[in-house]
Amino acid sequence: MEKLPSHTKARHFGMVIDLDKCTGCASCMVACYSENNVSFRDEESIKLLSINWIQVYKITNGKPFPDTEVCYLPQPCMQCDGKDFGHPPCVSVCPAVATDFDTPTGIVSQIPVRCFGCRYCMAACPYHARKFNWWDPVWPADMERYLSPDVSPRMRGVIEKCTFCYHRFQRARQQAYYKGDAENIKEADYQTACTQACPSGAITFGDMDNPDHAVYTLKKSRYAFRLLERLGTQPSVYYLSTRKWVHRACDNYLEHEEPAAFAGKSA
């Protein structure tokens, strides 16, 4: 008997964030909270305890007034491929198989109910992308009414993180199946909530292996780089910036080293 395909065709989803465009408005953060049933508390200013799937950091070039420059750096889960396309740092350490590498999409999963809260993955992640539920989430007043059925609300004692809105991929795939062509998922059919929410168009998302998708070209830009790239985590999130100091700020360069995009140039 002919076997059915285990999955629709393999893809490698990735994101390219233009740091020269990001205004630091945090629409991506709020859209993500709302899309993914992220909880909140009345005290959120202790950031180590705060749950964010995407966080916008503010970095400066350190120069005095008026030569100061600011760059906003949105940081979701990097969805690392890790060694040999399948061994991100967090997946390798999880003793509960609560997180795995989704080979058909290149997305690192996280199944909160399977997690028992050891937080090894949190320690393993160099990007602080994983957040722990120190408390049971509470939605005050009637706020439970806005919860989305697409993402399961978490409980105390488990890890959660950005999933590249995997449920939106499921939604797109479901519709493709329904329409009779499971392979036919277009770029616009699957976009993460933050990509869609960015009011200044700084985020681009798509299949990095598909030449028809914008990310395919963008990630090859001379000015593209990845966060702490030299750790070898192979993130699926690329950043763009024409500013050298931004490249420098995003990896541990030694004094004499030049970011690749600027090597041999006096920028």
Cis amide bond preceding 104, omega within 30: no
Query: Of the listed pieces 9-17, 63-71, 122-130, 241-249, which binds another protein according to CB under 8 A?
Result: 63-71
Considering the rule CB under 8 A, would residue 220 count as an interface residue with another protein?
Answer: no
Binding mask 99-128 for another protein (x = CB under 8 A): xxxxxxx-x-x-xxxx--------------
Q: How far is the CB of 230 from another protein (least distance, A)?
A: 27
Judged by beta carbon, residue 154 or residue 226, the one nearer another protein is 154
Residues 79-98 that bind another protein (CB under 8 A): 97-98
Cα separation, 266 vs 258, in Å, equals 10
Given the rule CB under 8 A, which of 49-57, 74-82, 221-229, 240-248 is the region that contacts another protein? 49-57
Buried b (16+ CB within 10 A) or exposed e, 221-246: eebbbbbebeeebbbbbbbbbebbbb
Residue 133 has a CB neighbour count (10 Å cut-off) of 19
Among 49, 13, 44, 32, smallest CA distance to 172 is for 13
Tell me if 15 contacts another protein by CB under 8 A. Answer: no
The encoded tokens of residue 94 equal 């999880």
Q: Which of 12, 16, 37, 76 binds another protein (CB under 8 A)?
A: 37
